[in-house]
A and B are shown apart, each in its own frame.
Chain A
Amino acid sequence: MKSTTIQVEGGRQFSRRDALQVLAAHMTLALAGCSKPAEEIVPYVTMPEGLTPGEPLKFATAVPIGGYGVGVLAISIDGRPIKIEGNPKHPDSLGSTDAFAEAAVMSLYDPDRSRTPTLHGSFSSWDAFGAALLAQLKKHRQNGGEGLRLLTGRITSPTLLRQIDDILVRFPQARWHVHEPIDENVERQGSALAFGRAMHSIPSIEKAEVVLCLDADPLGPGPSQIQNAHRWIQSRDPKRPEHFMRTYVAESTLTPTGIKADHRVALHPNGITDLSIAISNLFGAGLPEPTLSNAAKRFVNACGADLGAHTGRAVVLAGRTLPAEVHALVHWLNAALNAPIAFVEPFDQSASHEPAALRPLVEALHGGRVDALVVIDTNVGYDAPADLALAAALPKAAFSVHLGCYADETAKLCQWHLPQTHFLEGWSDLRGFDGSATIVQPLIRPLYATRSAHELLTMVAGEEKLSYDLVRDTWRPRVTMPFEDWWRQVLHDGVIPETAAQRISVAPPQRPQFPRGSASGEFTLVLSPDPSTWDGRYANSPWLQECPKPISKEVWGNALVVHQEDAARLHLTTGDVVRLSAQNHTLESPVLVSSHGARGVIHLSLGYGRTRAGAIGNSIGVSAYTLRWSDALWTTEVTIKKLNDRREVLTTQNYVRLAGEARDLFPIRLLDDARKVAGAKREGSLPSLYPPAIADTYAWGMVIDTAACIGCNACVVACQAENNVPVVGPEEIARGRDMHWLRVDIYDHGTDGALKAGFQPVPCMHCENAPCEPVCPVAASVHDSEGLNAQVYNRCVGTRFCEANCPYKVRRFNFFGYADGQEYANLGADTIKAQHNPEVSTRQRGVMEKCTYCVQRISRARRDAKREERTIVDGEVVTACQSACPTRAISFGNLNDKTSAVSAVKGEARQYALLEHLNTRPRTTYLADIRNQGVLKGEPS
């Protein structure tokens, strides 16, 4: 018989016998691999003070969001930061978070973070950079800093501002430029026009009874979202109907504020300018009367009368898309209304040096006047306005340095890229939206060879100092009490007392003169910050990419929102690709058809189309910066051309209008009816074959107030962080699969162009008569005595019968090992595992999972209580979603305790259960949404 041999590399013969030997060896190894792996216990050498293995520690710090610091408590277990929660003592948090703050912990462990300095893209070292910098500085010491430029994002850190001041004193010819893609320049120009000085205004919405938003989105994403949401809900307390605030919103694109509005009108930004003139004229502005549509006229009359009737308790807010003149006019109007608004000095600039903008830097670069450029934590290579052509200008600097957490688009344009320390790894300080300062303290030693902005600036200043000493040096002269006592106190509290910006009293504002704007192009493109990626800096966050946008429910992308009438005219349907053109720039984007924007206005959010964000954020969506001009940052006139191409727009909820059912699933009541019991309340319960609920222990229950929900997604990301909920990625989303234990549904039972909508967070209902339980063949879905519908992962064999039988569709199936070996992109990296909450099991492929009411938190409270021989007190168990919520829409507690907060809310007249007629007796119930309609009552809001 001819022997079967294969010639392998190197000339060796590989016979059948060899193959069998290898096979046998593999089988032996595979069988040997079945034994349990030996586990190790690796204790400390020296135990850190205050640490107990496996027990969480909380540290007060601040998350930077657009340069402002939101005060938070970061939770660390065994030295690993795993979760971020709100800091009740911080005025920007008041115990709550937003989606960005919740997702910040993931960025620490991002495998795409840069780890070592690079020169022209090749690995280098801090020492090599130090030497190069030294040679450069030698030159600048002689010429007084001529040609030395510093480019940063918005800086509120007192220490960083002090350091920049110091550098500008050392190098008098050096210049500091600030570029923040989502800035407050229009607002500041408006206050400069009205008062003669740029100011930062903080409206006291909580004192208002009438609020008019002119393309302003106070409830939308941003550093002030939590604070605004707190203020907004305070003024909308149905227990005080006489003071219940009424919101009027005129906007060009649909925003969360518009969804929650009592009266809303969709207008082109120019139409909103006209509307603001018309309203001001009612208060004696005496501007030329604009022409308005009938709907806008009715809106103006009703709103004007309401504002006038609430002098001293009415506030008008203007948004970014409106010109500075309208902002000035709104200041004038607010003064006429005696509106509760505080003005403060901008605190994102040093006392002696006001930063220059980006444009002069670009001009200097083109003129060859920049010798050395230091870019700190800003991604101008991606987010600079298109007309500045920064990509061509930046390489003209003879010596350029970029400090950032990622080797991003800007890093590519600079010679040196230096890895930056994450905020959870280093010392710093930040100011909140009202100026309150917080010391940013590290929870973990830097994971990589990184340095902070403070440390880089000390190198530029020609000395070497640690961030810790720099921050302490900033505050030491300002403290009157013994410094170490003070230091310990502010680190503990997470906010430095009496650091809120000084309120300034203002002279009566000037009424501005302004030319009428006119739309010249076919369409006005309105740009906005993105609720998931903000300005693009969070593009590499898997949690935020997969977090459905509040209104469109889009994930992994940013489609161009087109009004349905415009879409019909252009023969566009959702998913069609169009080309937008303006001033020789073009952009191709898929379309998402909506019925609630203004006609002639198309909307695109910033923050997508990144090329060097990382494995998660690259090539997702389109970059709206391509069509952004430095003189008009938020609106652009464009033309649209339909292309013969389609791209799928990924959404997690399809926009379907359910004519009758939405009223049952998401009732909206008028304020007058809010406290009345609707219809005949069903007495007792329907007959059932299920065993009765156990009543001799705790009965956990939840109530979600849909009137308070602003759809901000803080709860969704909080749940994901707390419960190790995996990310599935865009391909799986396209197959209709996602893993969020908590989703926020959007309902609309209005008509075209007339909105009647709201948000409804949907976790597991923990039904007392749970339909998922009897269908499980292996009893993996079972009830516990406290009313939790538990899922036993180890029993689950993946029949998915429970998912099919769940009327609320809250069960999630691991079609793949999303968290267990088949992670999306780079999410299986070891660093990511460090984020996982050790108190929650990660689920494997083929098992069902769902909301557990944060059973690990209940268990902790129960064990604490039992150890102390007491019962769990009301408020001791706070679920992750509940703790994140900025409007406190979620109540949770023991229903068997009739004095508990949740029992009180369960008794409210607005309470209803989802799909009550199915007799599932859900433990999670809702409070109906409320509209406070005034004279326009009956008209669609």
Chain B
Amino acid sequence: MAQVFRPAANTIAVLVMAFLGAMPVLAVGPGYTLMKSPYVTNQSVTRTQPVPFSHAHHVGSLGLDCRYCHTSVSTARFASVPPTETCMTCHSQLWTNAQMLAPVRKSLATNTPIRWQRVHVLPDYVYFDHSIHIAKGVGCSTCHGEVDRMPLMRQAAPLTMGWCLDCHRHPEKAVRPRDKVFDMAWTPPPDQIAKGRQLMTEYHIDTAHLTDCSKCHR
């Protein structure tokens, strides 16, 4: 009887088995890369909004403070997106006929909210609190990037858990003086690590328990 397998079959079988064994290990690298890629994290994705609101114009050019619109950022979990009437405090006087602002005027006239596309989406099991980060000297631009240069809002940071933990383990890299928290132009000084450590002592930031699961998850 003729041989069922050719001699090359041995080599092929070994290669197949080796590949099956190695694949899970080899898949880890691409897997992690995929997880951290903007494709998954939505980093740098710009979304289409009902009104093309420009932070670059309002913050960068006009110099509005973050808290003019995001009123609860230093007191509550959510920074809050402003109600239509906040827009209309200025736009009832300025650009009152601009086509671009028609949805805003319509919102006020018909008492229907503007439906903004959410840019920074954390999973529902993450309980992030803006106010505590503000209180401890974490600036807006640390996570949200150079908002004053964004014509349309995009997500500057990957917002992955590893990215969160990086800062929770080493806050000295990010902590800045409290009076600079809303300062978009702030850049870390050359001795940031030393300054950051000093501020951590001043602001009572203790990293010993900052990575407990229950700090962010409930």
**Interface residue ranges, A against B (CB under 8 Å):** 36, 38-47, 52-55, 694, 696-697, 782, 784-786, 788, 790, 792-794, 839-841, 852, 855-856, 858-859, 863, 866-867, 869
Please state if A785 and B132 are interface contacts (CB–CB under 8 Å).
no
- Chain B interface residue number, banded: 35 or more
Q: A784-B213, A790-B213 are in contact. Are A43 and B132 (CB under 8 A)?
A: no
Which residues does chain B contribute within 8 Å of A46, judged by CB atoms?
83-85, 111
Smallest Cβ distance from A793 to chain B, in angstroms?
Answer: 7
Which residues does chain B contribute within 8 Å of A55, judged by CB atoms?
72, 76-77
The 6 closest A-B CB pairs, nearest first, are: A785-B209, A784-B212, A39-B118, A44-B83, A47-B83, A43-B81
* A421 to B132 CA separation, bound complex (whole angstroms): 40
* Extra pairs beyond A41-B118, A45-B107, A856-B127 (14, CB < 8 Å): A39-B117, A43-B83, A44-B84, A46-B85, A47-B83, A55-B76, A697-B208, A782-B213, A784-B213, A855-B218, A859-B214, A863-B131, A866-B136, A867-B135
Interface flags for B118-139 (1: CB within 8 Å of A; 0: not) read 1001001101010110011000
* A-B contact list, 8 entries, CB within 8 Å: A36-B121, A43-B113, A44-B84, A47-B85, A52-B80, A55-B76, A841-B218, A869-B203
* A44 to B82 CA separation, bound complex (whole angstroms): 8
Is B78 engaged at the interface, CB distance under 8 Å to the other chain? Answer: yes
Smallest Cβ distance from A763 to chain B, in angstroms?
Answer: 16
**Interface residue ranges, B against A (CB under 8 Å):** 42, 47, 72, 75-78, 80-86, 107-108, 111-118, 121, 124-125, 127, 129, 131-132, 135-136, 203-204, 208-209, 212-215, 217-218
Which residues does chain B contribute within 8 Å of A697, judged by CB atoms?
208-209
Which residues does chain A contribute within 8 Å of B85, judged by CB atoms?
45-47
Partner of A40, one of B77, B80, B117: B117
Please state if B113 and A45 are interface contacts (CB–CB under 8 Å).
yes
Please state if A40 and B108 are interface contacts (CB–CB under 8 Å).
no
Please state if B213 and A45 are interface contacts (CB–CB under 8 Å).
no
Most chain A beta-carbon neighbours within 10 Å: one of B112, B215, B218: B218
Please state if B214 and A869 are interface contacts (CB–CB under 8 Å).
no
* A2 to B38 CA separation, bound complex (whole angstroms): 51
Which residues does chain A contribute within 8 Å of B203, judged by CB atoms?
869
Which residues does chain A contribute within 8 Å of B81, judged by CB atoms?
41, 43
Smallest Cβ distance from A618 to chain B, in angstroms?
Answer: 33
* A855 to B217 CA separation, bound complex (whole angstroms): 9
Please state if B115 and A42 are interface contacts (CB–CB under 8 Å).
yes
* A40 to B135 CA separation, bound complex (whole angstroms): 27
Please state if B132 and A863 are interface contacts (CB–CB under 8 Å).
yes
Please state if B75 and A52 are interface contacts (CB–CB under 8 Å).
yes
Please state if B117 and A53 are interface contacts (CB–CB under 8 Å).
no
Smallest Cβ distance from A601 to chain B, in angstroms?
Answer: 48
Which residues does chain B contribute within 8 Å of A856, judged by CB atoms?
127, 218
Please state if A45 and B214 are interface contacts (CB–CB under 8 Å).
no
Smallest Cβ distance from B108 to chain A, in angstroms?
Answer: 6
Please state if B115 and A839 are interface contacts (CB–CB under 8 Å).
no
Smallest Cβ distance from A360 to chain B, in angstroms?
Answer: 51
Partner of B214, one of A36, A44, A54, A788: A788
Which residues does chain B contribute within 8 Å of A855, judged by CB atoms?
214, 218
Partner of A859, one of B115, B125, B127: B127
Please state if A43 and B131 are interface contacts (CB–CB under 8 Å).
no
Please state if A44 and B113 are interface contacts (CB–CB under 8 Å).
yes
* A39 to B124 CA separation, bound complex (whole angstroms): 12
Which residues does chain A contribute within 8 Å of B212, judged by CB atoms?
784-786, 790
* A772 to B72 CA separation, bound complex (whole angstroms): 40
A723: nearest residue on chain B (CB-CB)?
B218
Please state if B125 and A794 are interface contacts (CB–CB under 8 Å).
yes
Q: A45-B85, A697-B209, A792-B213 are in contact. Are A867 and B131 (CB under 8 A)?
A: yes
Partner of B209, one of A52, A782, A784, A839: A784
* A867 to B115 CA separation, bound complex (whole angstroms): 32
Which residues does chain A contribute within 8 Å of B77, judged by CB atoms?
54-55
Please state if B76 and A40 are interface contacts (CB–CB under 8 Å).
no
Please state if B218 and A40 are interface contacts (CB–CB under 8 Å).
no
Most chain A beta-carbon neighbours within 10 Å: one of B81, B124, B217: B217
Which residues does chain A contribute within 8 Å of B114, judged by CB atoms?
42-43
Please state if A43 and B125 are interface contacts (CB–CB under 8 Å).
no
Please state if A43 and B82 are interface contacts (CB–CB under 8 Å).
yes
Which residues does chain B contribute within 8 Å of A841, judged by CB atoms?
124-125, 217-218
* A697 to B215 CA separation, bound complex (whole angstroms): 14
Please state if A859 and B111 are interface contacts (CB–CB under 8 Å).
no
Smallest Cβ distance from B175 to chain A, in angstroms?
Answer: 14
Partner of A42, one of B113, B124, B209, B215: B113
B161: nearest residue on chain A (CB-CB)?
A794
* A756 to B70 CA separation, bound complex (whole angstroms): 61
Most chain A beta-carbon neighbours within 10 Å: one of B72, B77, B82, B203: B77
Q: A859-B214, A866-B204, A869-B204 are in contact. Are A53 and B118 (CB under 8 A)?
A: no
* A869 to B114 CA separation, bound complex (whole angstroms): 38
A867: nearest residue on chain B (CB-CB)?
B135
Please state if B112 and A45 are interface contacts (CB–CB under 8 Å).
yes
Smallest Cβ distance from B104 to chain A, in angstroms?
Answer: 10
Partner of A54, one of B78, B124, B132, B204: B78
A837: nearest residue on chain B (CB-CB)?
B218
Which residues does chain B contribute within 8 Å of A858, judged by CB atoms?
214
Which residues does chain B contribute within 8 Å of A36, judged by CB atoms?
42, 121
Which residues does chain A contribute within 8 Å of B86, judged by CB atoms?
47
Partner of B117, one of A38, A47, A54, A785: A38
Smallest Cβ distance from A189 to chain B, in angstroms?
Answer: 53
Please state if B132 and A866 are interface contacts (CB–CB under 8 Å).
yes
Which residues does chain B contribute within 8 Å of A53, judged by CB atoms?
72, 76, 78, 80
Q: A41-B116, A45-B112, A866-B132 are in contact. Are A54 and B125 (CB under 8 A)?
A: no
Smallest Cβ distance from A371 to chain B, in angstroms?
Answer: 45
Which residues does chain B contribute within 8 Å of A45, judged by CB atoms?
83-85, 107-108, 111-113
A792: nearest residue on chain B (CB-CB)?
B213
B113: nearest residue on chain A (CB-CB)?
A42
B130: nearest residue on chain A (CB-CB)?
A54
Smallest Cβ distance from A866 to chain B, in angstroms?
Answer: 6
Q: A43-B83, A839-B127 are in contact. Are A790 and B214 (CB under 8 A)?
A: yes
Please state if B115 and A40 are interface contacts (CB–CB under 8 Å).
yes
Which residues does chain A contribute within 8 Å of B118, judged by CB atoms?
38-41
Smallest Cβ distance from A794 to chain B, in angstroms?
Answer: 6
Which residues does chain A contribute within 8 Å of B42, judged by CB atoms?
36
Which residues does chain A contribute within 8 Å of B75, judged by CB atoms?
52
Partner of A852, one of B72, B115, B121, B218: B218
A55: nearest residue on chain B (CB-CB)?
B76
Smallest Cβ distance from A58 to chain B, in angstroms?
Answer: 15
* A696 to B81 CA separation, bound complex (whole angstroms): 39
Which residues does chain B contribute within 8 Å of A696, judged by CB atoms?
208
Smallest Cβ distance from A939 to chain B, in angstroms?
Answer: 50
* A39 to B120 CA separation, bound complex (whole angstroms): 9
Please state if B72 and A792 are interface contacts (CB–CB under 8 Å).
no
* A39 to B121 CA separation, bound complex (whole angstroms): 8
Which residues does chain A contribute within 8 Å of B127, judged by CB atoms?
839, 856, 859
* A782 to B214 CA separation, bound complex (whole angstroms): 10
Q: A47-B85, A55-B76, A784-B213 are in contact. Are A40 and B107 (CB under 8 A)?
A: no
Which residues does chain A contribute within 8 Å of B215, judged by CB atoms?
784, 859
Which residues does chain A contribute within 8 Å of B116, judged by CB atoms?
40-43
Smallest Cβ distance from B74 to chain A, in angstroms?
Answer: 9
Please state if A43 and B84 are interface contacts (CB–CB under 8 Å).
yes
* A591 to B81 CA separation, bound complex (whole angstroms): 59
Smallest Cβ distance from A726 to chain B, in angstroms?
Answer: 16
Which residues does chain B contribute within 8 Å of A38, judged by CB atoms?
47, 117-118
Please state if B132 and A792 are interface contacts (CB–CB under 8 Å).
no
Smallest Cβ distance from A268 to chain B, in angstroms?
Answer: 52
Please state if A793 and B125 are interface contacts (CB–CB under 8 Å).
yes
* A792 to B212 CA separation, bound complex (whole angstroms): 11
Which residues does chain B contribute within 8 Å of A786, judged by CB atoms?
209, 212, 214
* A928 to B182 CA separation, bound complex (whole angstroms): 55
* A816 to B122 CA separation, bound complex (whole angstroms): 26
Smallest Cβ distance from B2 to chain A, in angstroms?
Answer: 34
